[in-house]
Structure 1
Amino acid sequence: MSDQNSERKLKHLFDGGEWNVYDPTVLNLGVGAPGTDLLEPCCDIFQEATAHCLRREKEVNQSLIFQYGPTNGTHEIRNEIAKYLTGMYDSPVNCEDLIVTTGASQGLHFLLSTMIDFNGYLFVDEYTYMIALDSMKHFTSLTIVPLKLNDDGVDLNDLEVKVKDRRFKSENKEFWAIYYTIPTYHNPTGILFSQTVCRGIVALSRKYDFLVVCDDVYNILHYGTKPQHSRLLSYDTRTDADYGGNVISNGSFSKIIGPGVRLGWLEVPPRLKPQLLLSGIINSGGCFNNYTAGIVGSLFELQLAQPHIARLYAAYKERMLAVNAVLKSELPNTCRFVAPSGGYFVWIRLPNQVNASEFLEYCLEHEKITFIAGSRFAVEEGKGQQFFRISIAFHKKEKLVDGISRLCMALNAFIKIVKHT
């Protein structure tokens, strides 16, 4: 083993490897990130917002943006986030319920480290966001339990059976278990959990007193009829007689402004916020991203963020609708997909005898196209071999349409090869 660190001077997360989404020789349909064309305006709007924010800091605010910030973030930034989300969700988001984070991944890690008994359980959908799984596996004393997933969301019967069988009373943490999910335009499947399923999740969380943590990063990216409820948290109604506060919404600007901003928020019920704000890690450093939060606050105050987000939304919608149209027309009839009504991802099921990882190798060799095989999203060994996920976010519509058409052509050819071997 080398005792020297090798510095490769990478420019972005996907740099330096075979999955480089900026490599013009390969069409990468796996990366869940906005493309270069969508991020290009950020330099100008952030320059204007930064000048506005820092001028105010210098003139009236004693440069406090460079100080340790309030643990949950300043009132000003939380108020800007709350105002914007209230309009987009068509339901109230209270500024006092928000805690500023550095994005949904850090928000999840923060919740795992503070809210759950370390001898407890993490319930997850049988296919779920793979990096979230990677984070969970670092908490080695927690047991990860997969749940059956249907076309309208988690299987409520499976959830109740598995929760009921494992429930215990925690002596040192608020919750004995967390159910982690992405109920709005699920990653990787793209599905939207039905109202029945959402109500059922809330009812079970109250009955068995476990915490539901929702990755709510795609919620405003609806491309058809807007959901009646834009996030599962709104089903956890505070006026209910049995309300306790069992749902947290974990949001991020990564998909709708830019991942490099590293800014997100937790929307938490009143009984849980004090426990989070007493955590040593947030008390030690204060607001997780005080400086950038101030800049983004100015971005919204100057009405620069809103048209930028609207532009990304319009591009994503155009791309998703175009991809769905190609798949409906050209995907082999032995394959299956549920056309997503929002979000970033399309989940494709192959015939039983076809392996997605093997098709990936074939597709890369013959069409220079990559995607992510379904096994990467599964908790259990051997699951997901007949699925793969594609992302609509990074590439322009014309490139996507051509790529998806070539992918379908390659899939037709590969299925014929498999049938004859």
Structure 2
Amino acid sequence: MSTPDLFATRASRMKASEIRELLKLLDQPGIISFAGGIPDPALFPADAFANAFQSCLGDGPHALQYSVSEGYLPLREWLVGHMQQIGIECSAENILITSGSQQALDYLGKLYLSPGDTALVGWPTYLGAINAFDAYEPCFDRLDLKANRRAAEYAAASGDGKIKFAYLSPDFANPTGETVDRATRESLLDLAEDLNIAVIEDGAYQALRYDGEDIPPILALELARKGTIEACRTVYCGSFSKTLSPGLRVGWVVASREVISQLVLVKQAADLHSPTINQMSINEVARACFDTHILRVRATYRRRRDAMLDTLRQEMPEGVQWTKPEGGMFVWLTLPQAHDGADLLSRSLETVQLAFVPGRAFFPDGSGRNTIRLSFSNSDEATIREGIKRLGQVLRH
């Protein structure tokens, strides 16, 4: 008997993350890596977490015990205030704690998608979202926010399948670093109403703005229209991974109570609840220093983004284009059509010991061969400048 013969059909759609594989290069000496979209560990509030864990463990057995599936109530109450600061009025009953926002995407795929349904996503879009949704055997269609594509065209393209949601990261998106303007966010809400679909708003990078004006989240814009979160179709996914700590795996979902109650059932079947002590420690650190800590993170990443953009202007040969993000962790390069990002990565590793992510991984149809993603968050300015010089060297030759 062949074991794969026993696997469900969805198993054939599961693929290794190219980014996870590239992260293994970080331990090799001499490699400059712009591959992983990971925060700088030197910025983690380690002392605050050491104190928080000591405090949590000293507070009796609660930190080591089972907890409710919805999540640690004091943390959800802190998040109520946090969401209010960005224009989203909600209660603790509108919030579910997840093991990172990646788990939230998996749960939402499980909740919304039946085989053959359609998910509207960016072209390119976050690789983790593609992988999370793909396990539930959907079709992917391009969410083209710039082409003013009408609802009837999306419906016609879906064929016999049903469109279930539009997924996007509107602020400093992974992988492009681009931000969706307010008018386009409003038009997306119009489209969602016309198609009667959900909107999944990935806010993983929302707190990492370095310049420009804040734009209300899509959920905040819908709340202004409908007056109550209970009438909203938008589901907001947040994360502490890019601000406080990725290793603790604490994220959250904000949505109507109807959606949250269904997600709670999904979580109960999956892992019962996210780790209690992790939630408790995040709560203590967030209450103690989130606002001041995020200022330090923004200042550091702003300098690194500026170093990358400045050096790209100096070193890139003619025909290379790149985005100019107002925040986040990424710059997206579009190379001349003759270039292949995967081939370029291979040559870069062999000749100049430089790593990045080929852009093809971020396209559901495998297109975008002439694109690459660079991350500036985990390298200092001098390393960034040297890495971009190496990239220019490979491209010129």
Please indicate the TM-score interval, normalised by the length of the shorter structure.
Answer: 0.7 to 0.9
The number of residues matched between the two structures is 380
Report the counterpart of residue 323 of structure 2 in structure 1: 338
Distance 1:264 1:54 in 2: 22
Match of 1:408 in 2: 392
Q: Tell me what 2:308 maps to.
A: 323
Instruction: Give 3-state SS (helix, strand or coil) of 1:73's partner.
Output: coil
Which piece of structure 1 moves more, 90-99 or 75-84? 90-99
Offset from partner CA, 1:168-191 (integer Å, 9 cap, x none): 798xxxxx5121211111111111
Of the three residues 264, 276, 279, the one matched with 1:290 is 276
Identity over aligned pairs, percent? 22
Indicate the RMSD between aligned Cα atoms, in angstroms.
2.8
Runs of 5+ unmatched residues, structure 1: 4-12, 171-175, 415-421
Which residue is 1:53 aligned to? 56
Write the letter of the residue equivalent to 1:20: L
Residue identity in the other structure for 2:54: A
Q: 2:233 aligns with which of 246, 250, 265?
A: 246
Shift of 1:115: 3.0
Give the Cα–Cα distance (whole angstroms) in 2 for the partners of residues 16 and 201 of structure 1.
34
* Shift in Å, 1:270: 3.6
**Equivalent residue for 1:390, pick from 370, 374, 385:** 374
Q: In the alignment, which residue of structure 1 is the partner of 2:201?
A: 214
1:133 aligns with 2:130: yes
Point out the structure with the larger helix share: 2
Q: Do structure 1's residue 31 and structure 2's residue 32 form an aligned pair?
A: no
TM norm structure 2: 0.87
Residues 251-309 of structure 1 deviation map (CA, whole Å, 9 limit, x = unaligned): 111111121010000011244223223x15326754323321111111123x1444333
Equivalents in 2 of 1:182, 1:73: separation in Å?
24
Give the deviation of 1:320 after TM superposition: 0.8
Distance 1:46 1:19, change over 3 A: same
Residues 167/66 of structure 1: CA separation in 2 closer, same or farther (3 Å cut): farther
Aligned ranges 1:17-416 → 2 under 5 Å:
19-39=24-44, 41-42=45-46, 44-55=47-58, 57-58=59-60, 63-87=61-85, 89=86, 92=89, 94-140=91-137, 142-148=138-144, 153=145, 155-157=147-149, 161-163=153-155, 165-166=157-158, 177-229=164-216, 231-237=217-223, 239-240=225-226, 244-277=231-264, 279-282=265-268, 286-301=272-287, 303-381=288-366, 383-411=367-395, 413-414=396-397
1:119 Cα shift? 4.0
- Residues 16 and 202 of structure 1, relative CA distance in 2, 3 Å threshold: closer
State the distance in 1 between where 2:343 and 2:193 align. 44
Please tell me the residue identity of whatever aligns with 1:200. S
Amino acid at match of 1:37: A
Aligned counterparts of 1:109 and 1:144: Cα–Cα separation in 2: 16
Quick one: structure 1 residues 220 and 154, their matched pair in 2 at CA, closer, same or farther if it must change by over 3 Å? farther
Gaps of 5+ in 2: 4-17
Amino acid at match of 2:76: R
Aligned mates of 1:86, 1:109 — CA distance in 2 = 26
Change (3 A) 1:137 1:252: same
State the distance in 1 between where 2:274 and 2:256 align.
19
Structure 1 CA distance for aligned equivalents of residues 57 and 213 of structure 2: 37
Measure, in 2, the Cα distance between the counterparts of 1:216 and 1:164: 30
CA apart distance, 1:238: 5.2
